Amino acid sequence: MKTVLFSLLGAAAVLAAGASSSNANDRYADRPPVMVSPDLSAPWVLQLGHAPGIVRQTRQMMQQPQRRYLQVQPDQQRTAAVQQPARRTAMRPQINPIYLPQEVAFDGPQKPGTIVIDTHQNFLYLVEKDGKARRYGVGTGKPGFEWSGTHKITDKRVWPDWRPPAVMIKREAAKGRYLPTYLAGGEENPLGARALYLGTTEYRIHGTNQPWTIGGAVSSGCIRMRNEDVVDLYERVNVGTTVVVI
């Protein structure tokens, strides 16, 4: 009897230790999957497998626990239908398919493995062998925030924190928009799911929770991608990768 009891206790301890280790090593295990619905331009947090018609929900509605629905009689259903009008759905215009990831011909002088960012056409190329490249659509610096140069990726982060530069905080405050000095990584963070840091600059290639902005001049100099695209790029490149911005 004692042997059986010790065996059960030992198994429980192993399971508990495994769960603790998993929780400690996977800080973002509860994050939703990075995927996109047919409504490619919908806010990323509403792209989790929904159909093109998407009901716009408030944060309070999304945070409410799910309720169990009681079975009701047909008469009660008709009454409820009269009292609660159907909720309307809304759609944003589809993102131009030209900005979705695709393999293209590439005749630039850069070596395979190099990232080339064309800020005029809003494309990011990951150079491959045999005159090809993987091309992604990106959002680039708005007028007055354009730049070019060559840097190395010096850091990679998953669900990065955001610390807006003091000059940005001051600039936005003058417009009546007050930014936090610090914002933890997550769905509400404008840096999105991944970030690749460029040299010693304050610029990054990062995700966005506003995928409908891809293809435009929209940022303060950073290169933004759809979350699912920056995750794909993140897995394909390493620290030390050369990034050429033209």
How far is the C-alpha of 205 from the C-alpha of 89, rounded, in Å? Answer: 33
Indicate if 206 belongs to the active site. Answer: yes
Sign of the dihedral defined by the CA atoms of residues 200, 206, 210, 216, in that order: positive
Distances (CA, A) of 176 to 101, 126, 145, 179: 36, 39, 20, 10
Indicate if 222 belongs to the active site. Answer: yes
How far is the C-alpha of 152 from the C-alpha of 161, rounded, in Å? Answer: 20
Backbone phi and psi for residue 3, each to the nearest 5 degrees, phi listed first:
-60, -45
Backbone phi and psi for residue 145, each to the nearest 5 degrees, phi listed first:
-125, 15
What is the amino acid identity at position 152?
Answer: K
Of 50, 120, 151, 206, which is the active-site residue?
Answer: 206
- Of 185, 131, 142, 141, nearest in space to 163 by CA: 185
For the annotated catalytic residues, the residue numbers are: 206, 222
